[in-house]
Amino acid sequence: MVLAAGAAGVLFVGAAACGGSDDDGAPAAATSAPAVAATSAAPAAAPLTILVTNDDGVGAAGIDAVAKALAALPAVTVRIVAPATNQSGTGGKTSPQPPAHHDATTASGTAATAVDGFPADSVNVALDTLGVKPNLVVSGINQGQNLGPVVDLSGTVGAARAAATRGIPSIATSMGLGSAFDYAQGADLVVAWVTKHRGEFTGTGSGTALASIPNLNIPNCGTTKIRGERELPTEPTLTDMSKALTNGQDCSSTETPADEVAAFNAGFATLTSIPVKPAS
């Protein structure tokens, strides 16, 4: 016998409710069980097109790792358009004429387009020649940190800025120097950032330059875990440039510096906001 709650108290619903009869042979009234409210499914993620580029070249390991990680997100289309060769240190340079481009593949064989020019050229070729309409541009993951005082030299940053000047949200991503590069932790951080901000990437560029872009630098911790991520002001000037350019990262440190470069060198991923227009 099943115990069910009714409007007038408790009803005993026995076999008769299933087509049988009770003890005196009189048919029992069938009692409908209360309807169970349907659980609403989570809304499906809106489609997102991400243009992935870099300055290390289309065959570099960093761009391959982040492109594959982003492509695993639901309803995401990834287009890879990057320099044919390493263009590190070229900042926001562009060619006087649109450079040639050709089919290529990443290190793991993912289809891509290689551009015979600078990182910023790659963004322009993707938008103007190939007709890509990205909701977001991810530049990197670069091999080597791009911290405060050196961002204007970075082709990784230059590519992200090229998108932002046209109103397209973008992020520059880099991993610190080390004896080897394992981009998995960095790719996870990029995916986490994209997932967190995904609802903001609803257009394909307003044509009006954005004021700033995020710059994510991931310490090279080897097999040690990154200590966390810190959002900090950028450091446009630094007395000792070697601390930003060549210092190794100590991911076993217990220090918690409040400055971008020191926090990075102490094993924290740093997320800063840098101006789209380079410093003059």
| pLDDT tens track for 45-89 | 889 999 999 999 999 999 999 999 999 999 999 999 999 999 999
Q: Per-residue DSSP letters for 100-130?
A: PEEEEE-TT--EEEEESS-HHHHHHIIIIIS
Cβ atoms of 269 and 218 within 8 Å: the answer is: yes
Task: Tell me which CATH code domain 48-275 carries.
Answer: 3.40.1210.10
**Dist CA 29 CA 12 (whole Å):** 11
Report residues of the chain scoring pLDDT below 50.
1-34
> What pLDDT is stored for residue 8 in this prediction?
37
> What pLDDT is stored for residue 278 in this prediction?
87
> What pLDDT is stored for residue 3 in this prediction?
35
